C-alpha cells in the first residue's frame, strides 16, 4: 500500500530517489539511490515496506562493521537560534 498524500502537509507524493543519511557509530553513512515517494511540498520521503526493510538491513550491516564502506568525513554544526 502506497500513500498518495503526505500525512504531514497533504502535499502530493512523487516517485523518485533519495539519499538516506544515517549516523553509524562515529560517522555517518549515505545510502544513495533509495527509491521513495517524495512530498512535493515538504520533501518528506516515504518508503515502501520492502525498501525500509532493506534500509534496516544496510543499517545493521553498517553498525556491525560488515558493510564495506568508508565513513564520510562530516562537518557538524550546532544550530543556535
Ligand atoms: Zn509533505
What is the CATH number for 49? Answer: 3.10.20.860
Q: How far is the CA of 13 from the centre of ligand 1 (A)?
A: 8
Q: How far is the CA of 36 from the centre of ligand 1 (A)?
A: 13
User: How confident is residue 78, by pLDDT bands cut at 50, 70 and 90?
Assistant: confident
More confident residue, 61 or 6: 6
Does residue 17 lie within any of the structural domains?
yes
State residue 11's pLDDT score.
96
Does residue 20 lie within any of the structural domains?
yes
Model confidence at 35: pLDDT above 80: yes
Q: How far is the CA of 80 from the centre of ligand 1 (A)?
A: 25
Q: In whole numbers, what is the pLDDT of the chain averaged over residues?
A: 86
Question: How many distinct structural domains can be found in the chain?
Answer: 1
Q: Which domain holds residue 32?
A: 13-64
Does residue 38 lie within any of the structural domains?
yes
State residue 71's pLDDT score.
60
Model confidence at 74: pLDDT above 80: no
Residue 43 has which C-alpha cell?
Answer: 520533501
Does residue 78 lie within any of the structural domains?
no
Does residue 46 lie within any of the structural domains?
yes
Amino acid at each position: 500500500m502506497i500513500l498518495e498524500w503526505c500525512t504531514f502537509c497533504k502535499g502530493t507524493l512523487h516517485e523518485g530517489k533519495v539519499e538516506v543519511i544515517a549516523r553509524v557509530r562515529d560517522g555517518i553513512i549515505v545510502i544513495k539511490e533509495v527509491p521513495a515517494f517524495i512530498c512535493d511540498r515538504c520533501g518528506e520521503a516515504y518508503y515502501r515496506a520492502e525498501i525500509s526493510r532493506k534500509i534496516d538491513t544496510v543499517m545493521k550491516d553498517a553498525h556491525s562493521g560488515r558493510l564495506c564502506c568508508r565513513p564520510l568525513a562530516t562537518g557538524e554544526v550546532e544550530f543556535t537560534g
